[in-house]
Amino acid sequence: MCYGENKRSDNEKPESKEVAENTTLANNSCSREVYLQTLIAYIKENHLKHFIRVIIDMGSQRSYISKFTARKMKLKGLGEECVNHGLFGGIEHTEAHQRYRINLSNVDGSYNFELDALDEKKICASLPKMNDAHCLNQLKDMGILISDVAINERSCLYEKNPGEIHLLIGADYAGKLLTGNIKHLSGSLVAVQTHLGWTVMGKSDIINTNKCSSLLVLSLHVNNAKISDLWNLDSLGIKEDSAKRTKTETQELALEHFRETVSRDNTGRYKVNLPWLDGHPPLRDNKELAQKRLKHTVKSLKSKNRLNEYQEVFNQWENEGIIEQINPVKINPEGLGIHYLPHRAVFKDNSTTKVRPVFDGSAKTRNSVSINECIEKGPNLIEMIPTILDRFRWGKIGVISDIKQAFLQIALNESDRDVIRFMWWKDGDPQNIVIDTVGSYLAYHAAPFYLQQF
């Protein structure tokens, strides 16, 4: 029993209470529809012919085709280009694109047009077609046919939505398409004739009313948060694209790159492109570094009396088509530049391959980057080992096999070979310099992932 009232300490702090406030915002906005220069054209390649929805954009310095269309039309890449994209707020990022040559014609086939375009996963959001009845009647009276309205959008190539844009013709080609014939319509609308057909652009008289309601809940516990978090860019949603990607998204991008670039040559060897990171810094010519490292390697081999063994490995690779001698000039003038891989000898006397070259993809000069810092490794396959070992124990008999020089069976397309060169003094003679290109560099970065896909 309690015979007296409990006394409250004078030092006891009153219980703190937090009040959460919710704010509901409602917005009712009216705007007029703005039409862009869209049309429908024929794209023709490899005996394939499809309608495709096109936008003409004078604000773009380059022309772009969607990766979906390039894959469907089985277009052959002409090389890779790094383009610096500038967006609102002065934000810039560099991205690598595959370049394709495209054959276009208008819907009746009376005009044919060829252009080079860079690939892009998604060019823009789906754009509306013109639905201004008054304007359409004006065009009809003028005898003007708008292909983007007349042709059923479902007859065009599309991935998910028939309103998708799969080709952007930029300022590099748009000027050649204009005929100079312009018709002024009601309001701010203008009909512009191109060799691929008529387009309409401008602000329509149709008013769209958008109603929007949002609930904002803001809770900031300053006492429980680190002060540095308040000015951290991450808290504002400002991150690099690579930082925003999840592990799954990175793996999907690597798989997509593999599917788009993989092929087989007449010897049966697989050929791929290097999986370049988005916005990677440019690789610099490191020929001087490669020469210094080569001098040290040859000196070490001579001291061990194993120079001939090392030379024999290169001779064997050359006979098997794994490496090839090239001229000092670039293989691909529109590629990423020239980069050399220093190499050294690794000896294993108890192995079938007693000596083998190891290429150093981490080598770099001052104020530059290495090639390892510019390409994607692919998913971490080490995490799959426990699962593989478990499956190995299911049966009574385990069977294993080995692929001879497995990593060397993956070759690179010509567009990337300038960045995997290496130097060698034939027979150890400094006056007999041989420059080779090698497809085996993938062994040190992305080859395990690629081999898993075959």
Report the length, in residues, of the chain: 454
Q: Is residue 7 pLDDT above 50, yes or no? A: no
Residue 1 pLDDT = 45
- pLDDT level of residue 194 (50, 70, 90 thresholds): very high
Provide the CATH number for the domain formed by 247-394+402-452 in this structure. Answer: 3.10.10.10
pLDDT confidence of residue 169: 92
Range from 54-68, 132-146, 312-326, 428-442 carrying the lowest mean pLDDT: 428-442
What does the alpha-carbon distance between residue 100 and residue 427 come to, in Å, rounded to a whole number? 43
Which residues of the chain does CATH 3.10.10.10 include? 247-394+402-452
Q: Which residue has the higher pLDDT, 335 or 101?
A: 101
What is the per-residue pLDDT for 152?
A: 77
* Tens digit of each residue's pLDDT (9 = 90 or more) over 261-276: 778 777 777 778 887 8
At 243, the pLDDT band (50, 70, 90 cuts) reads very low
Q: Greater confidence, 41 or 401?
A: 41
Instruction: Tell me what percent of the residues of the chain surpass a pLDDT of 70.
Output: 71
What pLDDT digit, counting tens, does each position of 370-396 carry?
888 888 776 667 777 888 888 888 888
Amino acid making up residue 30: C
Q: What is the pLDDT of residue 336?
A: 62
pLDDT given for residue 441 in this prediction: 47
Q: Residue 196's closest CA among 115, 101, 100, 99?
A: 115
| DSSP symbol at 163 | T
Quick: pLDDT tens for 292-341.
999 999 999 999 999 989 999 888 888 877 788 876 665 555 556 788 88
Among 28, 27, 31, CA closest to 207: 31
Average pLDDT in the chain: 76
Please report the pLDDT score of residue 240 as a whole number: 47
Q: Residue 349 above 60 pLDDT?
A: yes
Kindly report, as residue ranges, where domains of CATH 2.40.70.10 are found in the chain.
Answer: 34-208
Residue 420's contacts (CB-CB under 8 Å, 6 or more residues apart) are: 339, 341, 371, 412, 437, 438, 439, 441
For residue 249, pLDDT beyond 90 = no
pLDDT at 2: 47
Of residues 118 and 126, more confidence is placed in: 118
pLDDT, average across residues 86-109: 81
Higher-confidence residue of 428 and 13: namely: 428
Rounded mean pLDDT of 407-414? 71
Compute the distance between CA of residue 142 and CA of residue 395 in angstroms, rounded to an integer: 77
14 pLDDT exceeds 70? no
**Which of the 8 DSSP states describes residue 88?**
G
pLDDT in the model for residue 450: 62
Band of pLDDT at residue 406, cut at 50, 70 and 90: low
Query: Tell me, what's the pLDDT at 168?
Result: 92
CATH superfamily to which 34-208 belongs: Acid Proteases (2.40.70.10)
